[in-house]
Amino acid sequence: MKKIIVNIACLLGIIVAMSSCKKNDYFVGGDLHNPKINMTTYDWMKSNKYGVFDTVLMLIDKAGVKDKINAQGVTFFAPTDYDVYNYVQARTRQVQKVDPKKMWTVDSIMKYELGRFADSIDMYITKEQLTNDKLTASGKKYKNNKGGNFIISFEETRDPALGYNENSTVIPRVVLFTYLYQAIGDVFDVKSIVPPVGSRTLVQTSNAQTTTGVVHVLSNSHVLFYYR
Amino acid sequence: MILFNSSCSKYLDLKPENSTYDEVFWKDGENVNRATLGAYALLRNSLRADRSYFIFGDIASGIVRQADEDWNMDQFARSGGYKFSYAPYLEGSLWNWTRFYGIINQCNLIVEQAEAMDIKLFDGGEDEKKGYIANARFLRAYTYFYMQRVWGDVLLVKETFKDPQNIPDMTRTPEKETLAFCKEDLLYAIANLQQNPTKSFASKGAANALMAEVCAWEHDYINAEKYANETLKFGYALEDVKDYRKIWKGNSKESIFELNMLYSESGNEFTEDFFSRFLSSASIPGKGSGSVWDIEPEFLETEFDKPEARLDSMSMPFPDNAALKTIRKYDDIVEYREGKYAVSNNLVLIRLADIILLRAEAYYKNGKTTLALNDLNTIRKRAGLEEIQVSGAELFKEIFRERRRELIGEGVIQFDLIRMNMFEQLDEYSAYYSADRIANKGYYWPLDMRNLLPQNELLTQNPWWKNH
């Protein structure tokens, strides 16, 4: 009897030892996440399970600029519905300075501003595949399709809300999209750029590589087209 | 056996080894100096606790907006209608005055012990001895006056307790008595302090300025005017608006009294996270945008409606939003270790612009409106605004509005609101401060009765917060 128990214990031990070996990948870290997505940029945005792009995509459809974001080999900095909301809020505040009863809504954009929308969406598109492995901490300047400049950088953050922990030596990194209102030279300190020189927006989801290009999703606190 | 016996006697210490006690400590001037430095350190830590200095002065007056992640400040800030009775996790600093009694006790100790010491024990003789006592009495007056302005009536403890085991219960002291005690201390300080060049210690000028503030608080504007004028005789001067931020870099010509918090390799007066609440990632790389206090947007839009050089100098737009502005009065950053940023600025408690505006207020109350307008325009000119011509109640209101623009982010505006009684004059306060609330002194902070009452059974809550 004793022998059997010992044998069973041994067997169990071996099984445990073997099974714990298997998932080593999980313990060493590494990148199991696959940034490649087998869809076009437009379809990927449409497939978002929370629907955070549906208003943006509706505007894109109405303005007829689907081809712009689905063009081959571009990078698209995608605004979300929240950014559109921030825009109509800011726009409403502006029109209410003249007439307190007026509102500016998504319908107003569709009625009066589709041309402007079609034109301005170019500020979020560049003809280069900016995947995260090409980005640096100090940032590099690129031209957007509208002819203006922006800087994209991959910076360390010490914000606990973004995953920083004092007890860890690994410092999380985030992508920042710095839109430039003013022309600046080639030597710059991207961290210290503030309006009126430029505006720095956090990228909340970066490095999505679709079949047509790269998508970086902008933060929900961004105001569409940097409306002021 | 022999070994045991011999080692035994060494364990029987007759004196405490690593802490000091009265009989050996109060033996020379150098040690009194150490005790004084200790009192300053206690004041520094008390004002800094949970950033309460800025919460009491700026967040509570609704001109600075709390950060997104400060969910526990939503109720007592402008967003919650200044409901001071809800401050989760901050009760220990916002409702509890115990830390300030540490300063009071230290000052009482210095006054009593130094008083009893022989002059020969001080290298500098009589002057040095009186200097220490004057410093302690100045700090004691500052502390009581500060507590009075935050929580209302205090428990006035005038001397150290002889028997710490049996501290008698006591009722709260009427404001008049507390302030009379402060003024007595300040008169001694004015007579015995030197006018030293370092602003981080009490001076004759600082004592006069504090005296002016105490008098104004009591609405004794005749004396407020007198002491403000005395203060101005000590050669302070306004910084040019170009160098506006020099005021907080230590020992500026405009500063009258400040607490040292500059970075030094060996010192521990600086902090990483006291002033840094005002700064965005543009000043401190990698800082999260959810932890930034900014100028309340509506206040910014209505009160800073004209372009002014002062605003450009003391504020900075948010990195991702040009409409929001942060305060950059304290933005001298030192990266002292990789990724660790110290803010190397001093906390200026009293400065010239403050006293000039206080004098304007006193002039107005004393019927000297031309002089009041002059003082107001002095500050406006420095700020890069054009001079104005106003009179009557409008002038008084304008002085207050100028104080808000000038002294934002310096922890004083709530006390100006109370002193100048502006709650009913301005829309942003009148909606939340009913006549009932003002009558019951709902502008003071409540006390943490759960923790304080067991220590003193005669303590009473501020009337408004008994049932609000």
Q: Taking a C-beta distance cutoff of 8 angstroms, is the pair B67, B277 a contact?
A: yes
Q: Is A26 a member of any domain?
A: no
In this structure, is residue A51 part of a structural domain?
yes
Nearest CA in chain B to A154: B286
Q: Closest Cα to residue B228, out of B357, B336, B415?
A: B357
Can you give the three-state secondary structure of chain B, one letter per residue?
Answer: CHHHHHHHHHHCCCCCCCCCCHHHHCCCHHHHHHHHHHHHHHHHHHHHHHHHHHHHHHHCCCCEECCCCCHHHCCCCHHHCCCCCCCCCCHHHHCCCHHHHHHHHHHHHHHHHHHHCCHHHCCCHHHHHHHHHHHHHHHHHHHHHHHHHHHCCCCCCCCCCCCCCCCCCCCCCCHHHHHHHHHHHHHHHHHHCCCCCCCCCCCHHHHHHHHHHHHHHCCCHHHHHHHHHHHHCCCCCCCCHHHHHHHHCCCCCCEEEEECCCCCCCCCCCECCCHHHHCCCCCCCCCCHHHCCEECHHHHHHHCCCCCHHHHHHEEEECCEEEEEEECCCCCEEEEECCEEEECCCEEEEEHHHHHHHHHHHHHHCCCHHHHHHHHHHHHHHHCCCCCCCCCHHHHHHHHHHHHHHHCCCCCHHHHHHHHCCCCCCHHHHCCCCHHHHHCCCCCCCCCHHHHHHHCCCCCCCHHHHCC
Say if the Cβ atoms of A195 and B322 lie within 8 Å.
Answer: yes
Q: What angle do CA A226, B69, A87 make, to 5 degrees?
A: 20
* A194–B339 C-beta distance less than 8 A: no
| C-alpha–C-alpha distance, residues B343 and A174, integer Å | 24
CA–CA min distance A199, chain B (Å): 5
Q: Which of residues 26-85 of B touch A (CB under 8 A)?
A: 69
**Which residues, 6+ apart, have CB-to-CB distance to B321 below 8 Å?**
A195, A199, A221, A223
Residue of A nearest to B322 (CA): A195
**What confidence tier does B19 reach under pLDDT thresholds 50, 70, 90?**
low
Using one digit for the tens of pLDDT, what is the confidence trace for A58-94? 999 999 999 988 989 899 999 999 999 999 999 998 8
Q: Is the pLDDT of residue A16 over 70?
A: no
Mutate to test the interface with A, among B289, B320, B324, B341 (most CBs of A within 10 A): B320
**Structure ipTM:** 0.76
Of B382, B432, B429, B395, nearest to B63 by C-alpha is: B429
Contact B319 A161 (CB under 8 A): no
Distance from CA of B54 to the nearest CA of A (A): 22
CATH number at residue A60: 2.30.180.10
Residue A186 — very low, low, confident or very high, per pLDDT cuts 50/70/90? Answer: confident
Chain A residues touching B282 at Cβ < 8 A: 191-194
Residue of B nearest to A160 (CA): B288
For residue A170, which residues of chain B lie inside 8 Å, CB to CB? none
B289 in contact with A, Cβ within 8 Å: yes
**Residue A83 structure tokens:** 């950014």
Residue A219 located in a structural domain: yes
Q: How far is CA B18 from CA A42, B15, B22, in A?
A: 72, 9, 14
pLDDT at residue B12 greater than cutoff 90: no
Residue of B58, B56, B167, B93 whose CA lies nearest to B447? B93
Q: Which residues contact B27 (CB under 8 A, 6 or more apart)?
A: B117, B121
Residue A151 belongs to a domain? yes
Residue B434 burial by CB count (10 A; 0-12/13-18/19+): exposed, middle or buried? middle
Residue A5 domain flag: no
pLDDT score of B442 more than 60 = yes
Average pLDDT of every residue of chain A: 85
Least confident of A137-141, B14-18, B289-293, B342-346: B14-18
Check CB contact of B322 with chain A, cutoff 8 Å.
Answer: yes
List of chain B residues whose C-beta atoms are within 8 Å of the C-beta of residue A221: 289, 320-321
State pLDDT tens for residues A188-207.
898 888 888 889 999 998 88
pLDDT, one tens digit per residue, over B85-115 is 999 999 999 999 999 999 999 999 999 999 9
Asked whether the whole model's pTM tops 0.95, one would answer no
Which one is the CATH code of B22-193+434-468: 3.40.309.10, 1.10.3720.10, 3.40.50.10470, 1.25.40.390? 1.25.40.390
- At B143-182, the pLDDT tens digits run 999 999 999 999 999 999 877 788 889 999 999 999 999 9
The pLDDT assigned to B410 comes to 95
Q: How far is CA B79 from the centre of its chain?
A: 24
Report the residue of A77, A96, A159 to disrupt the B interface, i.e. the one with the largest count of B CBs within 10 Å.
A159
Residue B298: closest C-alpha in chain A: A93
Query: Among B69, B322, B339, whose Cβ lies nearest the Cβ of A228?
Result: B322
Look at B339 and A171 and tell me if their CB atoms are within 8 Å: yes
Q: Residue ranges of the domains in chain B?
A: 22-193+434-468, 275-345
Q: Which residue from A224, A228, A227 is spatially nearest to A83, judged by alpha carbons?
A: A224
Q: What is the dihedral of CA A33, A39, A43, A45, to 10 degrees?
A: 20
Shortest distance, CA B287 to any CA of chain A (angstroms): 5
A-to-B residue pairs, Cβ atoms closer than 8 angstroms: 65
* Interface touch A159/B286, C-beta < 8 Å: yes
Give residue A29's pLDDT band: very low, low, confident or very high (50, 70, 90): very low
B85 neighbors B74 (Cβ within 8 angstroms): no
Query: Within a domain: residue A194?
Result: yes
Q: Which residue from B287, B290, B319 is facing A158, i.e. has the nearest CB?
A: B287
Compare A33 and A145 and report the one with higher pLDDT: A145
Distance from CA of B318 to the nearest CA of A (A): 7
pLDDT tens digits, B41-71: 999 999 999 999 999 999 999 999 999 999 9
- Number of structural domains chain A divides into: 1
- Yes or no, beta carbons of B321 and A158 under 8 Å apart: no
Chain A contact probe: residue of B298, B321, B337 with most A CBs at under 10 A: B321
Residue in chain A nearest B339 by alpha carbon:
A158
Q: Choosing among A194, A223, A225, which should be mutated to test the B contact, i.e. which has the most B CBs within 10 A?
A: A194
Closest alpha carbon to B305 in A89, A101, A97, A225: A97
Q: Is the pLDDT of residue B462 over 60?
A: yes
CA separation for the pair B89, B74 (Å, rounded): 13
Among the partner-chain residues A157, A191, A219, the one whose CB lies closest to the CB of B282 is A191
CA distance B231 to B220: 17
Is B291 part of the contact surface with chain A (CB cutoff 8 Å)?
yes
How do residues B183-215 score in pLDDT, each as one tens digit? 999 999 999 999 988 999 999 999 999 999 999
HSE at residue B239, side-chain half, CA atoms within 13 A, is 23
Q: Which of A162, A196, A228 sits opposite B288 (nearest CB)?
A: A162
**Per-residue pLDDT tens digits for B361-372:** 999 999 999 999
Q: Say whether residue B286 is in contact with chain A using an 8 A CB cutoff.
A: yes
Burial (CB < 10 A; 0-12, 13-18, 19+), residue B269, is middle
The answer to whether position A6 is within a domain reads no
From B70's Cα to the closest Cα of chain A, the distance in A is: 13
Whether B290 contacts chain A with CB within 8 A: yes
Query: Is B459 an interface residue toward A (CB < 8 Å)?
Result: no
* CA-based nearest residue in chain A for residue B316: A194
Do B316 and A194 make contact, defined as CB atoms within 8 angstroms?
yes
**Would you state the pLDDT for residue A1?**
58
In chain A, residues with a C-beta closer than 8 Å to the C-beta of B289 are 159, 202, 221
Chain B residues whose beta carbon lies within 8 Å of the beta carbon of residue A79: none
Which pLDDT belongs to residue A15?
A: 57
Are A125 and A60 in contact by the 8 Å Cβ rule? The answer is no
Mean pLDDT of chain B: 92
% of chain B with per-residue pLDDT over 90: 84
State the nearest Cα–Cα gap between A148 and chain B, in angstroms: 17
User: What's the pLDDT at B15?
Assistant: 64
* Nearest CB to B286 within list A157, A200, A201: A157
Q: Which structural domain range is residue A210 located in? A: 41-226
Interface of A with B (CB under 8 A): 90, 155-162, 164, 171, 191-196, 199-202, 219, 221-223, 228
Please give, rounded to a whole number of angstroms, the shortest distance from the CA of B208 to a CA of chain A: 42
* pLDDT of A134: 87
Amino acid A33: pLDDT? 72
Instruction: State yes or no: pLDDT of A22 exceeds 60.
Output: no
